[in-house]
């Protein structure tokens, strides 16, 4: 699901994440100036062109990434969720907090003996704990690096599922139809 890089997250230099091309509905190609201490990502839009005068390819934007984490050990799962939220805070990534999802119970009844004593049975129960962390307003490269970092630190017995909501610009055909179909502005009549 994710690209695995040959280097760990700590070895990745983060200055390249500060200037990237971002696609916004109101500008064709923009540059997001991301300083985690002062302005949130993709808030300042500037036109971006490379040295040859061509517009850069816009970067992916995600409005929300849901990280669903499941595990059988409650303490390990809670520790990992705390690690993910701490990593979000340290990197300046907006997160919507953690949500505790309902615990799933599975019960199995088996015979104590393999062939005889049908009345003697044993019940086993497996509990699956689930947590959800929501990450909001993140760029594609930041999301790739962050998700790789938390995936590499995934403990044994814990599974992680990612659900991404990507923002995309409207196609030019729809934008042109929207321009044509704009309702006329209603002028207010002055009463005398």
Tell me the C-alpha distance between 145 and 68, whole Å: 18
| Residues 108-142 pLDDT 10s | 999 988 888 888 999 999 999 999 999 999 999 99
pLDDT tens per residue across span 43-85: 334 445 556 666 666 788 899 999 999 999 999 999 999 999 9
**CATH code for 9-169?**
3.30.70.600
pLDDT band at 172 (very low <50, low <70, confident <90, very high): confident
Q: What is the DSSP string of 112-160?
A: SSSSS-TT-EEEEEEEEEEEEEEEEEEEHHHHHHHHHHHHHTPPTTEEE
pTM value is 0.60
């Amino acid at each position: 699901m994710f690209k695995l890089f040959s280097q760990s997250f700590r070895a990745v230099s983060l200055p390249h994440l500060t200037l990237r091309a971002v696609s916004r509905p109101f500008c064709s190609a923009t540059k997001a100036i991301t300083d985690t201490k002062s302005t949130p990502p993709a808030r300042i839009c500037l036109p971006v062109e490379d040295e040859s005068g061509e517009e850069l390819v816009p970067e992916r934007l995600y409005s929300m990434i849901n990280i669903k984490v499941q595990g059988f050990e409650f303490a390990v799962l809670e520790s990992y969720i705390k690690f993910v939220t701490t990593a979000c805070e340290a990197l300046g990534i907006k997160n919507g907090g953690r949500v505790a999802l309902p615990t799933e119970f599975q019960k199995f009844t088996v015979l104590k003996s393999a062939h005889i004593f049908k009345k003697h049975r044993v019940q086993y129960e497996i509990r699956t704990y689930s947590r959800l962390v929501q990450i909001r307003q993140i760029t594609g490269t930041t999301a790739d690096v962050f998700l790789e970092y938390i995936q590499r630190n995934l403990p044994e017995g814990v599974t992680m599922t990612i659900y991404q909501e990507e923002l995309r610009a409207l196609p030019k055909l729809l934008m042109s139809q929207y321009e044509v179909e704009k309702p006329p502005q209603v002028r207010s009549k002055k009463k005398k």
